[in-house]
A and B are shown apart, each in its own frame.
Chain A
Amino acid sequence: MPKQDSSKTKDNKLTSRRDFLRSAGNYTVASLSGAAMLLSDPKPAKANVTWEEHFQKNYRLMTDEEKQQAIERLETRYTEEYGKPVTVDGSPSMEGVLFGYALNIQKCIGCRRCVKACVAENNQSRGDEQQIEWIRVLRMEKGKFSEADRDQHGYPESFGVQVGGNAYKPAGVVLEGQHYYEPEQVPEEDAFYFPMQCMQCEKPPCVKVCPVRTTYRDPDGIVVIDYNWCIGCRMCIGACPYWARRFNWGEPNLPKEEMNPVTHYLGNRPRMKGVVEKCSFCVQRTRKGRWTACVEVCPVGARKFGNLLDPNSEIRKVLAKKKVFRLRADLNTYPKFFYYMD
C-alpha cells in the first residue's frame, strides 16, 4: 500500500461520517454480508470527498453551472488536501484548433527527460508501490551480426539441405525494444529510441469500448477522461493497441510538495484509486496556448506540437516536408501522433 499521511487533524462532520462508515463496514463483514461492497473507501480520507462528488454527472453532460460547481468542489478539496491553493481549469476546446504531435525518432537520444517532466507536470502517482508514467521510451537494439551465428541451423530446418544464413537473435523482455534500460549515458552506441504515449487517435478503440463514455474525444482532438465517471472496468486498456493507458491500482501516491497545483478537470488533476488515466496532451497547458511539458523539456527538439488546422504551424510543416509515419497504421486508428525522420 502506498503510505499516506492521513489528515486526522481535520475534525468535522464528514470525518465522523467516514468513521461511521468504517465501523459499519466492519460490522457488515462480521455479519458475512456482501453489502460491504457498497461502502466507499473506509480508510481515513486524505481529504473529504463530498456527497455531491459521488452523485455528479458525466462532465461532458453537465450544464455550465454544474461544471462550475464540480470544479469548485474539487478546488476546495485539493486545496485542503495538498495544503496549497490549487486551481482546476475547465477550459473547453479552442475554436479552429486540432492538436497534432510529431516526434523525430532520428533525434531522440533516449534521455527520458520527457518522462520525468510529464510525471512532474501531470501529477502521476510515484514511488515503488505504484509508479505511473504516461510516456514510455523503448530502447530499440541495433542488430548485431556475427559470423558464428551464420552457420547455425535456421528456419525452416530440414533434410540438411538448408543450413545457415542466420542473423536471428531471440528477443529480450520486449519484442523489439524494452523500456527498462539503465545506461551510464545516452545515447548508447548500439541502440536507438522510440518513445510512445497516447496517440490521441481519431478512431480511438478505447472510446468505442468504454461502457459509460467516461473517455471521449473533445473537438480539439484530445481523448480525455472524466476520472469521476470511470468505473474501472479496464476495457479501454484491453482495447488500446499502444499500451498508453494506466490504471490506479491503489490510492495514488502524490507527495504534497511535488504536486502541481495548476490543473485541468480533464487533465492533470489528482486522480483517485480505481480509475484509468493517460496522456492528455497536457490539456491544462495546451488549451492556454502553451507547449506540452514533454515538448518544452526535450533537449534535442525531437518533439513538435501544434495546430493541424493552421497551415503555418510547425507541425504542418513537419507533416508536409518530412518522412512521416503513424504507428500501427494497419489498425485504422488514425493517430494524431506522428513519427518522422529528417
Chain B
Amino acid sequence: MRFLHFVVDYLKAGFTGGILFWLWMLFLLFFIMLWGYGEYVQIANGMIVTNLNDQVTWGFYLANFVFMVGVAAAAVTVVFPAYVYKHKELHRIVVLGEMIAIAAVVMCLLFVIAHMGRPDRLWHILPVIGIFNFPHAMLTWDVIVLNGYLLLNIIGGYYYLYKKYTGGEINKSFYMPVVYIAIVWALSIHTVTAFLINTMPARPMWFHSMMPIKFITTAFAAGPSLIIVVFLLVRRFTPMKIADEAFHLLSQIVVWCLGIALFLTMSEIVTELYPSTEHSLGLQYLMFGHNGLNRLVPFFWTALSLMVGSFILLLIPSIRKNLKLLPFICIAAFVGIWIEKGMGLMLPGVIPTPIGEFAEYTPSQIELMVVGGIWAIGFFLLTFMLKGAVAVLQGEVRYRSGTSEPAVSKQQAEAAT
C-alpha cells in the first residue's frame, strides 16, 4: 500500500512543473512521435528504409548504442567516490547519477531493437522459451550485463528513494552490496560491449585488446561531462542544492579520462599507421579518406579538435573550476566523444568490407528520426525521474498514512532539514 502511494506521489512530482517544463516535455514528445513513425515505417517495410547495405551492415543505431552504454556505465563516477571515498557532496546526489544510468540503459535497449531486423522475434533470445547462446555469443553476455545493470540501478536508486519517502531506515546489509555490485557491474557493461566488437578478426579496425580500456576512458570522460551539465541544470531549476565541490571532482575525472583516452587514440594511430598494413585501412579511411571517399574525414578531425581542445582547457584550474564555462567545455567533450566513439568507431570497422570494398554511408531520414526519438525518450525519462527524485530527496514528497497528497510544502521541508 505504501509502495503504491510512493509510485503515485513520485509520478505526480515527476510531472509537476512550470511552463518551461511542459514546453521541454512537449518538445521531446515531438521527437518521440517521429521515433514512433520511424519504427513503424521500418518494421512495415524492413531495414531497406535505412541506408545500411550489404557493405555497411552496422551503422547509426549501433554507433549510438555503443556510446550510450558508456554514458550508462559512467554513473559509477558519481557512485564510486560517494561510497568508496565517502565523498559527502556526491553522496547526497548519488541517486541522481543512478537515474542517468537508468535512462541511458533504456536508450541502449531501444537502439538494439532498432538495429534488429526482426524485433518481433525478440523472444527467441530469452532463456527457457528461446535459445540463449551463452557463453558462446558475446551478445548474450551483453544482454545479461545490460539488463542486470538496469535492474541494479532501479533497485539501488528506488530502494533509497522509497526509504527516504517513508522515512524508514536503510537496511545497509541489503543496500551496500547492491551499491558495490553495481560499481563493478558498471565496468562490466562497457567491457563486454567492447568485447562484442573487438572479438571479430574479420574487422581489423576493432581487433585490438585496447578496445575495452579505450571504451572505459572515453565513457568516463563523456559520462561525467553529461552528468555535470545535468547536475548544473538540476541546481538551476530545482531547489536541490549541489555543492561546487561535487562539480570540481567530476571535472577532474573528465580531464584525466579524456587525457588517457587521447593517449590511447595516439597509440592506436601510431601502431596502425607506421606499418600501414591492410589492417589499418579502416583507420586511414577515417582520418584521410580513400581515393576521394572522404565523408568521415571532417568528422574525425572535428572530434579530435573538440577532445584535444576541451582537454587543454580543462587542464587549466581556473577554467576547470569556473562553473559558468564548464558546461560548454563539457558539451564540447561530449560531442567530440560521441562522434569519435559513435560513427567514428562503427563505420571504419565495417569500411572497408572483409574483401576490401569501400562504400560510404550516411544515415537515412528514418534512421535519424529513430535515433533522435530515442534520445528524446532518454531525456524525457531522465527529466521525469530527476524531478521525482529531487522532490523525494528534498522531502517535498513524503509518506503520510491515509493520504497520497504531497505531504509538506517546500518551506516546511527546508525547515525540517
With a CB–CB cut-off of 8 A, which chain A residues contact B116? 231-233, 274
CB of A246 within 8 A of CB of B46, answer no
- Once bound together, how far apart are the Cα atoms of A95 and B58, in whole Å? 39
* Residues 42-62 of chain B, each 1 if its beta carbon lies under 8 Å from chain A, else 0: 011111101011100110000
**B204's closest neighbor in chain A, by CB?**
A241
With a CB–CB cut-off of 8 A, which chain A residues contact B411? none
CB of B33 within 8 A of CB of A130, answer no
**B113's closest neighbor in chain A, by CB?**
A37
* Of B88-96, B126-134, B209-217, B254-262, the one with at least 4 CB within 8 A of chain A: B126-134
Q: Give the A-B pair count, Cβ closer than 8 A.
A: 181
* Of B146-154, B225-233, B355-363, the one with at least 4 CB within 8 A of chain A: B355-363
CB of B54 within 8 A of CB of A231, answer no
Give the contact-size bracket for chain B.
35 or more
Within 8 A of B (CB), among A194-229: 196, 205, 208-214, 229
Name the distance in Å between A182's Cβ and chain B's nearest Cβ: 16
With a CB–CB cut-off of 8 A, which chain A residues contact B48? 1, 129-130, 249-250, 273
* Of A38-46, A76-84, A260-268, the one with at least 4 CB within 8 A of chain B: A38-46
Q: Check if B354 is an interface residue, CB within 8 A of chain A.
A: yes
- Once bound together, how far apart are the Cα atoms of A6 and B2, in whole Å? 55
Given known A-B contacts A175-B352, A233-B117, A238-B58, A36 and B36 have beta carbons under 8 A apart: yes
Q: Check if B40 is an interface residue, CB within 8 A of chain A.
A: yes
CB of A205 within 8 A of CB of B200, answer yes
* Of A26-34, A112-120, A284-292, A293-301, the one with at least 4 CB within 8 A of chain B: A26-34
Q: Check if A183 is an interface residue, CB within 8 A of chain B.
A: no
With a CB–CB cut-off of 8 A, which chain A residues contact B23? none
Q: Check if B264 is an interface residue, CB within 8 A of chain A.
A: no
CB of B117 within 8 A of CB of A274, answer yes
CB of A231 within 8 A of CB of B124, answer yes
* Residues 177-194 of chain A, each 1 if its beta carbon lies under 8 Å from chain B, else 0: 111000000000000000
Name the distance in Å between A134's Cβ and chain B's nearest Cβ: 11
The size of the chain A interface, using a CB distance under 8 A, is 66
- Once bound together, how far apart are the Cα atoms of A37 and B137, in whole Å? 25
Within 8 A of B (CB), among A232-254: 232-235, 237-243, 246-251
Q: List 25 A-B contacts (CB under 8 A).
A: A37-B113, A38-B119, A40-B43, A41-B43, A175-B352, A175-B355, A175-B356, A179-B355, A208-B136, A211-B133, A211-B139, A212-B132, A212-B133, A214-B124, A229-B131, A230-B118, A231-B122, A231-B124, A232-B117, A233-B112, A235-B137, A235-B139, A237-B57, A247-B54, A275-B118
Please report A residues at the B interface, Cβ cutoff 8 Å. 1, 25, 28-29, 32-34, 36-43, 54, 58, 61, 129-130, 136, 138, 170-179, 196, 205, 208-214, 229-235, 237-243, 246-251, 273-276, 331
Q: Known contacts A231-B125, A273-B45; can you find 10 more A-B pairs with CB under 8 A?
A: A28-B40, A34-B36, A36-B40, A43-B45, A174-B357, A175-B281, A175-B352, A212-B125, A212-B131, A239-B202
